[in-house]
Amino acid sequence: MPNIRSFENHHPDISGTAFVDDSAVVTGNVILGEDSSVWPCCSVRGDIHSITIGKRTNIQDGSILHVTHDSEYAPGGFKLTVGDDVTVGHNVVLHACTVEDLCLIGMGSVVLDGAVIQSGAMVGAGSLVPPNKVLEGGYMWLGSPVKRVRELSEKEKSFLHYSAQQYVKLKNRHIG
């Protein structure tokens, strides 16, 4: 059974069609949408602010999702929002940022507080997205710190949808 934990007055709200691997930990103020998946060794920790993960989104092995609390250094804090049809690669850190619909965040990338990844963006493996950086959709972003590299090809754009759909099929096989 997955490790689903309440924290204070918050209990994760996980869709009946979502999949959370037994070795993943989901804590507190977290919403996990329909047909989404959280894979082995992930930590999704909504203890000091909220985390919302949309429909058909996959959070792959070893990823860490967290938030920032309200303080004089971050008035209001920062929640984490991940949209629909998003692929979050292995060992990604999403910290208190926004990832809009139909994005791909490459393996080992780090996205920091207040950053916004706009719909249809692809972040290459190992990239660092600095705080408050806005990445325009329809482009490949790469590097540390991340820079816009080029416009996505039509094949890459269609892959964004394909990747999300393949993970829905895979989670269904795991649910069996």
What would the pLDDT profile of 43-62 be if each residue is shown by its tens digit? 999 999 999 999 999 999 99
DSSP-H helix ranges across the chain:
154-175
What are the backbone angles phi and psi of residue 60, rounded to the nearest 5°? -85, 170
Number of H helices, E strands in the chain: 1, 20
pLDDT score, position 115: 98
The two structure tokens encoding residue 37: 């998946």
With b for 16 or more beta-carbon neighbours within 10 A and e for fewer, the 91-124 pattern comes to: bbbbbbbbbbbbbbbbbbbbbbbbbbbbbbbbbb
- Which stretches of the chain score pLDDT less than 70? 1-2
pLDDT score, position 176: 82
Domain boundaries, the chain: 3-175
CA distance 142 to 122: 9
CA distance 37 to 87: 10
pLDDT score, position 75: 94
CB-based contact 128:109 (threshold 8 Å) = yes
pLDDT score, position 16: 96
Q: Does the domain made of 3-175 have the CATH classification 2.160.10.10?
A: yes
Residue carrying structure tokens 């926004």 = 98
The two structure tokens encoding residue 83: 């949209």
